[in-house]
Amino acid sequence: MGNFVSDKSRVWPKGIIPFEWGTGFRPANAAVSISSWVGSRGNATATGNLDGDVRTIQKLLNKVPAAQAGPSPLLKVDGVAGQKTRDAIQKFQLKRFGWKGADARVDPKGQTLVALNEFEVVPPDPDQEIVLSAIAEWNTVLKGHVTWRPATDQDASLVVFTKTSDINKSRTGRDSPNGKQDLNVNVPLAIRLSRFGAATAKGVILHEMGHAAGLGHEHQRDDRNTYVTVIWNNIKRYCDYRIRIPLKTDPVPTACGPFTQCSPFGGYDLGSTMHYFPNQTGKDESKPTLVAIDKKTKKPLPSQRMGGLDGLMPGDIATLKHFYPAGAQ
């Protein structure tokens, strides 16, 4: 069912995982800035240009990536705020002026509660859209247990999504109570990996986010050999650390955390998001590196699905919900 970090200091407090955009990604709010807003009540208007009001609205807009339900940003580069953003700003203004619900409007085509000015038009970033979609899936299926949200100045530790030409990788669990840790994203490589099985590029990002949350590789559980045979002579050089079962004598976690000590939770899950595919890390990708076997007879199970890089799998979700219980947030 899962393979979770043994060291509980690596668990994110209350299941909150703050993040920010690093090298290669555009800032969360790069496309627009607020210049002024206009509120309407019948024939009367109220104009806001006080620094305090503008800062409050800007904070609401900065929450857009965490609030969105899917990969498309709610705040458009044409200056039209998304519905959830408008709702949040309207709620702020109703409280600001003591208006009733029917007295305030948020209408981009008419008198608008918030007027936005473009200062820079940034082309859509399909790589960032994939990451945002992965974040949305986590926040939906693990609602109340794990939440990825934009970091604030108050966050002592956080994850930095960083574009890389290297492999997709992440530390396992929270690396330190004070500091930033990279989650390296290589979407072209993720797309290449998605040729295998039911994988998707988003699934690869979900896998790395699983590491950051504390999940280890399923195929590196200490009971792996009961369910899987490793074809070691087909494993690429320098990739054995991503396959072999960690030992207590191994060094501290490496850049992608393969030697983090993890504890098995529940039954072994061949379909886990955290399990490699049958031919992953192979010298010859037409031949297997991992072969599922019958627990009792040890005979190969060639039709058995292995690796679930098309979404968070039920076993992974159950493990995360166990270690990040509801009500902690």
User: What residue numbers does the annotated binding site for Zn(2+) cover?
Assistant: 207, 211, 217
Give the closest residue to 320 by CA, choosing from 132, 135, 146. Answer: 146
What are the φ/ψ torsions at residue 241 (nearest 5 degrees)?
A: -65, -20
Distance of alpha carbon 189 from alpha carbon 281, whole angstroms: 13
Record the tokens describing residue 267, joined without a space: 């039954």
Residue numbers belonging to the annotated binding site = 207, 211, 217
Distance of alpha carbon 279 from alpha carbon 300, whole angstroms: 15
User: Any catalytic annotation for residue 137?
Assistant: no
Evaluated on CA atoms 207, 212, 213, 217, the torsion sign reads positive
315 CB neighbour count, 10 Å cutoff? 23
Distance of alpha carbon 108 from alpha carbon 54, whole angstroms: 18
Q: How far is CA 183 from CA 78, 159, 172, 208, in A?
A: 30, 6, 10, 7
Give the closest residue to 34 by CA, choosing from 56, 19, 16. Answer: 56
Burial status of residue 78 (CB atoms within 10 A of its CB: 0-12, 13-18, 19 or more) = exposed
DSSP string across 65-129: HHH-SSSS-SS-TTSPPPHHHHHHHHHHHHHHHT--GGG----TTSS-SSEEEES------HHHH
Give the closest residue to 159 by CA, choosing from 139, 142, 176. Answer: 176
Give the closest residue to 28 by CA, choosing from 55, 1, 67. Answer: 67
DSSP 275: S
Catalytic residue chosen out of the listed positions 118, 120, 208, 285: 208
Distance of alpha carbon 161 from alpha carbon 135, whole angstroms: 11
Q: What are the catalytic residues?
A: 208
